[in-house]
Amino acid sequence: MADNIGNPMIRMANSAKKGEVVEVRSLIMNPMTTGLTKDKEGKPIPAHFIQTVSVTFDNAKLLDIDWSTAVSANPYLAFKMRAEKSGTLKMVWKDNQNGVWSAESKLTVS
Amino acid sequence: MHLDRRDFLQLLGVAGAASFFAPGAIQASWGSDKDPYTIPDYGNVTLLHMTDSHAQLLPVWWREPDTNIGVGPALNQTPHLCGKWMLDYYQVGKNPRDEYAYSCLDYDTLAHKYGKIGGYAHIAALVKRFRQERGDKVLLLDGGDTWQGSATSLWTNGSDMVGAQNLLGVDDFVGHWEFTFGQDRVEHLVKNELKAAFLAQNVFSNTWQELVFKPYRIHEISGRKIAVIGQAFPFTPIANPAYMIPDWGFGIHTEHMQKMVDEVRQQHQADLVVVLSHNGADVDKKMAAMVKGIDIILGGHTHDIMGPKPFMVNQTLIINTSTNGKILARFDLDVGKGKLKGWRFHYLPVFSNLIKPDAEMAAYIEKVRAPYQAKLSQPLATTASLLYRRDNFNGTFDQLLCDALREEMDCEASFSPGFRWGYCKLPGETITMEDVMGQTAITYPQVTINEYTGEQIKNIMEQVADNIFNPNPYYQQGGDMIRVGNIQYDFNPDEKIYHRISNLRIGGKAVSAGKKYKVAGWASMQKVEGKPVWEIFSHWLQSKKHVEVKKLDLPVLNKDMRNNHGIAFPKEYKL
Amino acid sequence: MKKTIQRRQFLGTSLVAGAAVTLAGGTLLRSGAALADNVAGWPAKAFDAKALDQAMAASVGKSNVPVSPKVKLTAPTIAENGGAVPVTIEIDSPMTADDYVSTVWLFVDHNPTPLASQFDLTPALGAAYFQQRIKMAKTDNVRVIAKTNKGELMASAPREVKVTIGGCGG
């Protein structure tokens, strides 16, 4: 699994009008295994999943998400935010095996 | 066995014809000189709709079902009407020609009198005529299931049909079985060969949830903006193998449909909003009740007769345009600024012996079939029975297929999918290899033997039944009940899942939940190894030489359904 | 896990004018040692609960919450792949400092652990809209509960997603 993990991406408009609601979409590679399944040799596959996603805008907190193993492999997450000022959106994903990834996207508000 | 050009033209009913009609055809067949395709001019926009041709380039026999039960809100509602119920609802029962077009009644007698339906050369003749009469007011919309259903479409990977669509001048197109050629092939044909726009507002990538195809197209006709929004079959990766289209997700997406309708009206100032849909009739009705602002839904998928009167849900007109090229639907519209001011609807059966086929399309069909002609015309067996597939439960053609699977694979029982395509053969006709392919031509044809427990057999049948008889249309996939060989059961469509089927038997003996049974089947949702079903079926037919269906494995209906308008009694269900 | 992210699309990215694809980040800030260790602040008790009412008690604080038309949950009627069922949550809220949705919970009634996600919102977000993909083992209900900054609880109507064998269509 470890050869295909991480690679976080954000897709969003890079400009918006003040007050406009914009959609932020993101994707990251992670197995999101539950710990309840076994491999071909019958050995249990350990739980390995992203537990938290935190979203900030110019370091101010916007959104914190906690996930269980019910979130699908390679989690996709979209949310909407109101564009109030220009700045940098940052997302940080953390999994239960000490993996931490981040991605950023700049937004210009006019 | 080769057909020469003259034979071929005779097959199409062309020979010697000079006018639009085959000489004497109207008088001889119809007892009237009236041309049923003469339509008075009306309005500023004409929509022509055809759907679910299932790749039948040539005219075929097509019998309407005798059983098409509606449940919940669809009970006794169009299109869940069979036999006289259908004729009465549309008030068309007086003329035997309409009886032939809209019902299963007296099918083989009327078939001999009125001939085969459809055929691309015949459809092309009608389309060309209407384009001549209506000029550039015409849009031709194809509702999908066009690339699959024949030997030649399978063997050319859909190319023969794309060529026919291009020649016909299809403007917009949506899909379902098209996707079973796999996403790479679909992408290739749509990008490089197909002239029509392939539209889908409900297909999204499985990574970024982004639209894969254009959701709609805006046409400018008579100074008006006509928006056509595409709706692919919402359950493609469930009803057909998902591995064919691993990156694409489907679904009905009612909310997104509303968004598209609002977008074309507000951003593009569309004056008319048309949805070209492969939802199926009941899903179209429910969607129309939930989405505001659709003027017309041109429906397909369920192969229903839903005309000659459109069905109205709020302000939305809904039709369904049959299958196998049987019907060409025509809306003549008076489109005002931002508003549909008036309409006339014409539901036109394509009676092949009444129409002089278009020479250009006839030549194209001849050309694409030529390399396969010997294989197609190989005779396998003769039939004493009328062979048909379409019905809620086992049709005669599938009964033969189920019997063949059981005997050839040495199994005590068999399953065959409840597909709704597959044309008919009349008593006395010879079943050829082409006819076998007409029932089996799919890209996942492998036959398998499965060891199922009695419980698994019941679960499979219950789950399939719920895909057809769930009272909520959004849970219906639009096929028919799974076909069975040597499996008997009692059935009540009004029950809930896991309670519709009772008294399940194999070979007349009660099925026990834990016991294993050998069941032959085909069209698996997973990748499997096995011989293609046409090989098994054709081998069995050749060994029989002559076939007759003496008994259908129909369920016993344990609810009195004698007044259900979805059954054309005297269908011989035991009650 | 071998699926590549970039897919050929018929539409390209032209639908969203000025869309930016950000491939930045990707930085593994800590070593990925296979030490299973809950991330600080992750609500383990609610996520570990094995029954819906327990999961609700441990997260929302109660298990009967009135349905409100303000909480909209969209899910397919039939799952194409029980391993990835797309769900969309949208809550009608002004999202101002005085009146906003502060927490949203997503449940799958009979999953081994019913709580699937918890979203903690700030008014600066300005909208309450989420889309993600979740796992469902069998036909089941998906439901959402939202809490406002004033402590008001609102539930979505449960949406039944059917997981079926399919085949036989059309």
Overall domain count for chain C: 1
Contacts of B211 in chain C (CB under 8 A): 11, 15
Mark yes or no for CB contact C10/B421 under 8 Å.
no
Mark yes or no for CB contact C166/B238 under 8 Å.
yes
Helix axes B5-12, B359-369, angle to 10 degrees: 120
Looking at residue A91, its pLDDT comes to 98
Locate B392 and state its tokens: 């809620």
Task: Count interface pairs A-C at CB distance under 8 A.
Answer: 193
Find out whether B230 and B201 touch, Cβ atoms under 8 Å: yes
Comparing CA positions, the residue from B328, B319, B331, B332 lying closest to residue B349 is B328
pLDDT digits (tens, 9 = 90+) for B257-284: 999 999 999 999 999 999 999 999 999 9
Mark yes or no for CB contact B207/A78 under 8 Å.
no
Considering only CB atoms, C162 lies closest to which of B421, B475, B478, namely: B475
Distances (CA, A) of C7 to A7, B246, B437, C2, C93: 15, 11, 34, 13, 35
Cα–Cα distance for residue pair B507/B99, rounded to 1 Å: 38
Looking at residue B372, its pLDDT comes to 98
Looking at residue C108, its pLDDT comes to 98
Looking at the complex, report in whole angstroms how far the Cα of residue C45 sits from the nearest Cα belonging to chain B.
31
Find out whether B338 and B396 touch, Cβ atoms under 8 Å: no
Comparing CA positions, the residue from B290, B515, B276, B484 lying closest to residue B393 is B484
SS (H, E, C) chain A: CHHHCEEEEEEEECEECCCCEEEEEEEEECCCECCCCECCCCCECCCECEEEEEEEECCEEEEEEEECCCECCCCEEEEEEECCCCEEEEEEEEECCCCEEEEEEEEEEC
Q: Is the peptide bond before C76 cis (omega within 30 degrees of 0)?
A: no
Mark yes or no for CB contact B209/A76 under 8 Å.
yes
Strands A21-29 and A6-13, bridge-based pairing = antiparallel
Does C16 map to a domain? no
Mark yes or no for CB contact B214/C80 under 8 Å.
no
Considering only CB atoms, B475 lies closest to which of C3, C78, C168, namely: C78
Looking at residue B164, its pLDDT comes to 98
Q: Which amino acid is at C81?
A: N
Distances (CA, A) of C17 to A12, C5, C130: 10, 21, 21
| Chain A residues near any Cβ of chain B (below 8 Å) | 11, 25, 27, 74, 76, 78
Average pLDDT of B66-71? Answer: 96
* Residue whose token pair is 């479409």: B153
Looking at the complex, report in whole angstroms how far the Cα of residue C78 sits from the nearest Cα belonging to chain B.
7
Comparing CA positions, the residue from B59, B55, B62, B51 lying closest to residue B152 is B55
Contacts of A76 in chain B (CB under 8 A): 207-209
Cα–Cα distance for residue pair C85/B212, rounded to 1 Å: 18
Average pLDDT of B402-406? Answer: 98
The answer to whether A109 faces chain C, any CB pair under 8 Å, is no
Q: Is the pLDDT of residue B572 over 70?
A: no
Cα–Cα distance for residue pair B550/B452, rounded to 1 Å: 27
Q: Is the pLDDT of residue B144 over 60?
A: yes
Give the CA count within 13 Å in the CB-facing half-sphere of B454.
Answer: 15
Q: Is the pLDDT of residue A52 over 50?
A: yes
Considering only CB atoms, A13 lies closest to which of C16, C34, C122, namely: C16
Looking at residue B247, its pLDDT comes to 96
pLDDT digits (tens, 9 = 90+) for A77-91: 999 999 999 999 999
Find out whether A18 and A84 touch, Cβ atoms under 8 Å: yes
Contacting partners of chain C (3+ CB pairs under 8 A): A, B
Cα–Cα distance for residue pair C53/C51, rounded to 1 Å: 6
Distances (CA, A) of B432 to B223, B358, B376, B377: 51, 26, 7, 6
pLDDT digits (tens, 9 = 90+) for B383-402: 999 999 999 999 999 999 99
Distances (CA, A) of C84 to A70, B237, C79, C81, C115: 9, 13, 8, 6, 16
Q: Which amino acid is at B149?
A: G
Looking at residue B32, its pLDDT comes to 62
Burial track B253-269 (b if 16+ CB lie within 10 A, e otherwise): bbebbbebbebbbeeee
Looking at residue C74, its pLDDT comes to 96
Strands B501-506 and B430-432, bridge-based pairing = unpaired
* Residue whose token pair is 């993990």: A5
Looking at residue B20, its pLDDT comes to 64
The fold of A2-109 is Immunoglobulin-like (2.60.40)
Locate B508 and state its tokens: 């007349």
Looking at residue B570, its pLDDT comes to 65
Locate B502 and state its tokens: 């009772």
> What band does B477 get if pLDDT is binned at 50, 70 and 90?
confident
Find out whether C117 and A53 touch, Cβ atoms under 8 Å: no
Phi, psi angles (nearest 5°) of residue C38 = -60, 140
Looking at residue B28, its pLDDT comes to 59
Per-residue pLDDT tens, chain C, 170 aa: give them. Answer: 334 333 333 443 333 333 334 433 333 433 344 456 899 999 999 999 999 999 999 999 998 999 999 999 999 999 999 999 999 999 999 999 999 999 999 999 999 999 999 999 999 999 999 999 999 989 999 999 999 999 999 999 999 999 887 765 44
Q: Is the pLDDT of residue A95 over 90?
A: yes
* Residue whose token pair is 């849970």: B475
Considering only CB atoms, C32 lies closest to which of A14, A64, A97, namely: A97
The answer to whether C49 faces chain A, any CB pair under 8 Å, is no
Going through chain C in order, the beta strands assigned E by DSSP cover 19-22, 71-74, 85-91, 101-108, 115-121, 129-134, 140-148, 153-155, 159-161
> What band does B1 get if pLDDT is binned at 50, 70 and 90?
very low
Locate C134 and state its tokens: 């979740």
Comparing CA positions, the residue from B411, B386, B420 lying closest to residue B400 is B386
Q: Is the peptide bond before B371 cis (omega within 30 degrees of 0)?
A: no
Cα–Cα distance for residue pair B359/B380, rounded to 1 Å: 31
Task: Count interface pairs B-C at CB distance under 8 A.
Answer: 110
Residue C65 sits in a domain whose CATH number is 2.60.40.2470
Cα–Cα distance for residue pair B115/B108, rounded to 1 Å: 10
Mark yes or no for CB contact C165/B209 under 8 Å.
no
> Alpha helices, DSSP H only, in C11-137?
44-48, 52-59
Q: Is the pLDDT of residue B439 over 80?
A: yes
* Sheet with B45-50: strands ordered across: B197-198, B172-173, B138-142, B45-50, B327-336, B339-349
Mark yes or no for CB contact C124/A84 under 8 Å.
yes
pLDDT digits (tens, 9 = 90+) for B457-472: 999 999 999 999 999 9
> What band does B19 get if pLDDT is binned at 50, 70 and 90?
low
Distances (CA, A) of B548 to A28, B379, B399, B425: 60, 16, 10, 12
Comparing CA positions, the residue from B537, B541, B512, B509 lying closest to residue B523 is B537
Interface pTM (ipTM) of the complex? 0.94
Find out whether A46 and A27 touch, Cβ atoms under 8 Å: no
Find out whether C95 and C126 touch, Cβ atoms under 8 Å: yes
CATH of domain B37-61+115-367: 3.60.21.10
Average pLDDT across chain B, whole number: 93
DSSP 8-class letter at B168: H
Considering only CB atoms, B460 lies closest to which of C78, C80, C165, namely: C165
Phi, psi angles (nearest 5°) of residue B236 = -55, -50
Looking at residue B550, its pLDDT comes to 95
pLDDT-above-70 percentage for chain B: 93
Looking at residue B307, its pLDDT comes to 92
The answer to whether B522 faces chain C, any CB pair under 8 Å, is no
Q: Is the pLDDT of residue B5 over 60?
A: no
Q: How many residues belong to chain B?
A: 575
Q: Which are the contacts of B25, defined by CB distance < 8 A and separation ≥ 6?
A: B353, B354
Find out whether A1 and A31 touch, Cβ atoms under 8 Å: yes
Mark yes or no for CB contact B235/C169 under 8 Å.
yes
> What band does B76 get if pLDDT is binned at 50, 70 and 90?
very high
Going through B127-243 in order, the beta strands assigned E by DSSP cover 138-142, 172-173, 197-198, 204-205, 216-221, 224-231
CATH of domain B377-557: 3.90.780.10
| pLDDT top residue among B375 and A1 | B375
Average pLDDT of B48-62? Answer: 98
The answer to whether B224 faces chain C, any CB pair under 8 Å, is no
The parent domain of residue C58 ranges over 44-161
Q: Is the pLDDT of residue B143 over 50?
A: yes
Does C89 map to a domain? yes
Q: Is the pLDDT of residue B10 over 90?
A: no
Looking at residue B562, its pLDDT comes to 85
Give the alpha-carbon dihedral of B88, B63, B444, B382, to 10 degrees.
Answer: 160
Considering only CB atoms, B238 lies closest to which of C15, C78, C86, namely: C78
pLDDT digits (tens, 9 = 90+) for B301-358: 999 999 999 999 999 999 999 999 999 999 999 999 999 999 999 999 999 999 999 9
